[in-house]
Amino acid sequence: MKKIAFLTGTRADFGKIKSLLRILEEDQDFEPHIFATGMHLQQKYGFTVMEIEKSGFQHIYTFDNQTPQGTMDLSLARTIEGFSTYVNKLKPHLIVVHGDRVETLAGAIVGALNNILVAHIEGGEISGTVDELIRHSASKLSHIHFVSNASAAKRLEQMGELSESIFEIGSPDVDIMFSGNLPDLAEVKRYYEIPFEHYAVAMFHPVTTEFEQMKTNAANFVDALLKDDTNYVVIYPNNDLGSDAIFEAYKRLRGNNRFRIFPSIRFEYFLTLLKNAEFMIGNSSAGIREAPYYHIPTVNIGSRQQNRAIHEDIIHCTYEATSILDSITEAKNKTITSANEESFGEGNSASLFLQALKGDTLWQLSNQKQFRDKT
């Protein structure tokens, strides 16, 4: 039986890997283990490790990677230290990391320097800010790549990655999006005490490379929401540098009956809310990925998702309050047609993932990283 160690640091990446964990847990050839850290262990963000535990997975290890300084570089260092101790006890056959968080980079570093195969999910994608640097760095430290589409695979090959190390499986969250097991809207509204008949979803994250402007940008965002007349379900930002400016701006929403604000929302419940929303607003990847699959308009603010996949359902605007308000009006009046979207899979990522792990090619890949010149 092969031990597979998954590292998760946020509510978002756990949603992405959940279907992969589930299919391995049901297979006698594999034993999945979860190393939960980052935002999962912070009360401020809803202590979402409880959602991992409620999912019923057998092997869960928790580690608090926060430091008094709260900086990303020190969180990276602490995660490396904790995860290294963990894997040297567990001795997994494979480490699985996802996306572009500092926890992702920590997992890839530990695997690469301890001669353990590392698989990176959703590498080869492009985005704005420091996230892209982290994503590509994690890819270069990883031996195996589970990508969302052919475009991502091509970029990894341009980076010198071996074509035989790249497996196109789609985006694993699509498995859950169309699983047929999502809760109905009435249950979600009851659980989270959301009184609105009609609403939009708002998620605004800090942009680390724009730290000096975050206070102004967050204030503009809140200004626009207050001037609009829509009901909003607001979900806390992630814990990157600059999040304090967003929390400060959100104080102005407190007590306003048009807003329900949550530290976190369970992934399946979030998908139901998104699927039934009038539109989504902010700079979350959910507005770029999940919303277009449900043909929900997205108001995408600023540079955080710069260069990511373009969909006709996405309205881009600046950080200026007037630009945000104009885009909200456009979203409300937008008629959704068949979106010209870049594919992120057909909802069978977990089965394709399992198929790759059961095959011989993956396990025959060398721990010694190679660079292949583009011909």
- The string of pLDDT tens digits covering residues 48-82 is 999 999 999 999 999 999 888 878 899 999 999 99
For the chain, the maximum distance between any two Cα atoms, rounded to a whole number of angstroms, is 61
Cα–Cα distance, 221 to 199 (Å, whole number): 17
Q: Are residues 80 and 158 in the same domain?
A: yes
Residue at 152 is within a domain: yes
Q: What is the pLDDT of residues 193-223, one digit of tens each?
A: 999 999 999 999 999 889 999 999 999 999 9
pLDDT at 310: 66
Cα–Cα distance, 328 to 193 (Å, whole number): 25
Q: Are residues 78 and 200 in the same domain?
A: no
Sheet holding 117-121, edge to edge: 60-62, 30-36, 2-8, 94-98, 117-121, 144-147, 166-168
Q: Are residues 214 and 107 in the same domain?
A: no
Q: Are residues 132 and 151 in the same domain?
A: yes
Q: Are residues 142 and 219 in the same domain?
A: no
Specify the higher pLDDT residue, 344 or 31.
31
Task: State the residue range of the domain holding 70.
Answer: 2-178+347-364
Cα–Cα distance, 314 to 330 (Å, whole number): 10
Calculate the average pLDDT of the chain. Answer: 93
Q: How many CA atoms lie within 13 A of 276 on its CB side?
A: 19
pLDDT(337) > 70:
no
pLDDT(258) > 90:
yes
Residue at 308 is within a domain: yes
Residue at 133 is within a domain: yes
pLDDT(341) > 90:
no
pLDDT at 338: 55
Q: Are residues 169 and 256 in the same domain?
A: no
Cα–Cα distance, 232 to 196 (Å, whole number): 9
What's the CATH code of the domain at 295?
3.40.50.2000
Cα–Cα distance, 204 to 208 (Å, whole number): 13
Closest CA to 372 of 138, 125, 171, 156: 156
Residue at 338 is within a domain: no
pLDDT class for 340, splitting at 50, 70, 90? very low
Q: What is the pLDDT of residues 80-98, one digit of tens each?
A: 999 999 999 999 999 999 9
What's the token pair of residue 83? Answer: 């995860």
Q: Are residues 62 and 121 in the same domain?
A: yes
Q: Are residues 353 and 323 in the same domain?
A: no
Cα–Cα distance, 302 to 350 (Å, whole number): 33
Q: Are residues 227 and 142 in the same domain?
A: no
Give the torsion through C-alpha atoms of 53, 273, 308, 137, to 10 deg: -10
Closest CA to 242 of 290, 207, 270, 282: 207
pTM of the model: 0.89
Q: What is the pLDDT of residues 144-199, one digit of tens each?
A: 999 999 999 999 999 999 999 999 999 998 898 888 889 999 999 999 999 999 99
Output DSSP code: residue 74. H
What's the token pair of residue 264? Answer: 């976190």
Number of domains present in the structure of the chain = 2
**Highest-scoring range by mean pLDDT, 42-46, 138-142, 308-312:** 138-142
pLDDT class for 345, splitting at 50, 70, 90? confident
Do 137 and 333 form a contact (C-beta atoms < 8 A)? no
What's the token pair of residue 345? Answer: 């899979």
For residue 120, give the amino acid letter.
H
Do 297 and 337 form a contact (C-beta atoms < 8 A)? no
pLDDT at 69: 82
